[in-house]
Amino acid sequence: VPKLALLVTSSAFRSYVQTCPDTISIRITHGSLDYQSLSTLLNWVNQIMSLPGHKLGVNVPVDCIQIIKTRYAAQVLGMEPYVRHFVENYKLGLRYRTPTPYEFQVVEECSLVEKDDMVEAVGRRIAYLCR
């Protein structure tokens, strides 16, 4: 991925490069980031660089777990503006299914803020199903 593209799309990379301007390559060592999620985000950065007029939002993954993990990776990398639509997509999908215990775990592990919309959506869905 071109360095300039990462500077534009990722506030985390931008901060890192400002502190280490002579950096030639960057290694992502955040252990809790999912490889497939990182790949999705970095492929999207390459697409917007190579295809003028490409939309400025990352395509929503089909799998709900991947939606959660990709959003988390974007938050960690400072790319959240490009995945904001993931939350609404996830919440709409919850209306028609019962989340699994594994999904609860992933949502909780991938929550960075106190009032996370995905955590609240899962909680509301479970409360509804328990009526």
- The tokens for 13 are 């990379």
Gap between the Cα atoms of 64 and 56, Å rounded? 21
pLDDT in tens, 23-60: 777 777 777 899 999 999 999 998 888 887 777 789 99
pLDDT in tens, 87-102: 999 999 999 999 999 9
Q: Other C-beta atoms within 10 Å of 40: how many?
A: 20
Concatenating the DSSP letter of every residue in 69-127 gives HHHHHHHHTT-GGGTTHHHHHHHHHHTTSPPPHHHHHHHHHT--STT-HHHHHHHHHHH
| Global pTM exceeds 0.85 | yes
List the domain range (segments joined by +) for residue 21: 3-129
Gap between the Cα atoms of 100 and 110, Å rounded? 15
Domain count, the chain: 1
